[in-house]
Copies of this chain bind each other. A is one copy, B any other.
Amino acid sequence: MIDGSRRTIGWRSAIALAATVASILFTSVLATRSAWAQPNPLPSWNDGSVKQSIIDFVARVTTQGGPDFVSVPERIATFDNDGTLWCEQPVYFQVAFASGQIKAMVPKHPEWKSKQPFKAVLDKDIKALAATGDKGVLQIIAATHARMTTAEFSKSVSDWIGDAKHPRFNKPYTDLVYQPMLELLAYLRENGFKTFIVSGGGIEFMRPWTERIYGIPPEQVVGSSGVVKLEIGPDGKPTLAKLAKVEFVDDGPGKPVGINRFIGRRPIFAFGNSDGDLQMLQWTAAGNGARFMGIVHHTDAAREYAYDRKSPIGKLDKALDEGTAKGWTIVDMKRDWRAVFPER
């Protein structure tokens, strides 16, 4: 006897017991790495058909031996960003960034105070800005997104996103991500999905913060881009210069093209919120096997915003009709989300 307890067992039995306990623990460690059911995986989603459609889909594609099983490498999920993962009102946050940059650059460019499109940005004169058209937008992009290295641009984004606050909520923009979607991203990853952003926004505008905020690393961010060129400095040091020339617009019909170019496989799960996501959703739907197509419908003016068919930003019209007709999952923000933003 080693200790003082009265009931004793043999060494051999003790080792057998140890092996059994170890084996149970071992198995449970492995189990947690593959698909498994959490008690309540999506706490910020209200119970109902929308939440259930997500859980049912994940169960279908992760049930080994089931008719809809999808192997882990094929579990590709793509998410639009603006209006799907974070707020996009009253203007796309990247536009707020550009405006902030222009304001900050005025001391070096005093002529902007009387020159369009910069004057319109400084005066917050949306009509005058709209009147400058595509040319105006390109001039703003050139001034704020180009003629610098990729490293300089990345720093300017990080600086801004650390400082700037949303005009209505008075919070950092990265606090205006949707808590239910953060939970959905995590839930999918726990079930073997690889999560990607496929956004009309600038790829270099998103990458400095997507890993920290969404757990999505830079190499899983697809977006619009400008032309970038390798330059070798006099010291032999290479830099990448951002030119004032659009390379790729990852929006509408560009989304399946961007998915093909960057990911090289068709998603089985896609989420968007506007007509700019329609082709991504159609491309996802057109594959073989089980498919999930989701749309965030902004119906909550009290907690966030309410907009759809007539909105100049995030217009949701054709995709709402097609999604309804085809039985895609349509999130009614007011009804389906218990919380909108994370509590911070």
| Residues 188-246 of A contacting B (Cβ, < 8 Å) | 194, 196, 203-204, 207, 211, 217-221, 225, 228-230, 232, 237-238, 240
- Choose, from A120-128, A260-268, A303-311, the stretch at the interface: A260-268
Docked pose: A20 CA to B221 CA in angstroms: 43
Contact (Cβ within 8 A) B11 A221: no
User: Within residues 248 to 293 of chain A, which ones have a CB less than 8 A from any CB in chain B?
Assistant: 253-254, 256-257, 260-265, 279, 282-283, 286
Are A7 and B10 interface neighbours, CB within 8 A? yes
Q: In this assembly, does A150 line the interface, its C-beta being within 8 Å of a C-beta of chain B?
A: yes
A12's nearest neighbour on chain B, judged by CB, is: B5
Among candidates B14, B225, B282, residue contacting A261 with C-beta atoms closer than 8 Å: B225
Which stretch of A21-29, A133-141, A178-186 is in the interface?
A21-29
Q: A230-B279, A257-B240, A262-B262 are in contact. Are A22 and B18 (CB under 8 A)?
A: yes
Counting CB contacts under 8 A, is A159 at the interface? no
Smallest CB separation, A343 vs chain B (Å): 27
In the bound complex, do residue B3 and residue A260 qualify as a contact, i.e. CB atoms below 8 Å apart?
A: no
Q: Any chain B CB within 8 A of the CB of A1? A: yes
Query: Cβ of A207 and Cβ of B10 under 8 Å apart?
Result: no
Contact among B25, B217, B232, B238 for A73, CB-based, below 8 A:
B217
- A8 CB-CB contact with B under 8 Å: yes
Residues of B within 8 A of A217 (CB): 73, 264
User: Which residues from B are CB-within-8-Å of A204?
Assistant: 264
Q: Does A19 contact B (CB under 8 A)?
A: yes
Residues of B within 8 A of A253 (CB): 229-230
- Cross-chain contact of A21 among B19, B211, B230, B261 (Cβ < 8 A): B19
Among B9, B203, B220, B257, the residue within 8 A (CB) of A14 is: B9
A260 to B239 CA separation, bound complex (whole angstroms):
11
- Give chain B residues whose Cβ lies under 8 Å from the Cβ of A17: 14-15, 17-18
Q: Which residues of B contact A263 (CB under 8 A)?
A: 218-219
Quick check: is A2 within 8 A (CB to CB) of the other chain? Answer: yes
A67 at the interface (CB under 8 A from B): no
Interface presence of A13 (CB below 8 A): yes
Please state if A228 and B207 are interface contacts (CB–CB under 8 Å).
no
**Which residues of B are found within 8 Å of A4, using beta-carbon distances?**
10
> Roughly how many angstroms separate A21 CA and B4 CA in the complex, as a whole number?
22
Say whether A11 contacts B21, CB under 8 Å.
no
| CA distance in complex: A214, B225 (Å) | 29
Q: Please state if A13 and B2 are interface contacts (CB–CB under 8 Å).
A: yes
Q: Does B11 lie within 8 Å of A9, measured CB to CB?
A: yes
Q: Encode A17-59 as 1/0 by CB contact (under 8 A) with B.
A: 1111110011001100000000000000000000000000000
Docked CA distance A150–B258 (Å): 13
Alpha-carbon distance A13/B1, docked complex (angstroms): 10
Q: 10 extra interchain contacts, Cβ-Cβ under 8 A, other than A73-B217, A230-B253?
A: A1-B8, A3-B13, A4-B10, A8-B11, A9-B14, A21-B21, A217-B264, A221-B264, A228-B260, A230-B256
Nearest 10 CB-CB pairs, A to B?
A218-B264, A5-B10, A18-B18, A14-B14, A8-B8, A18-B21, A3-B10, A230-B253, A22-B22, A2-B9
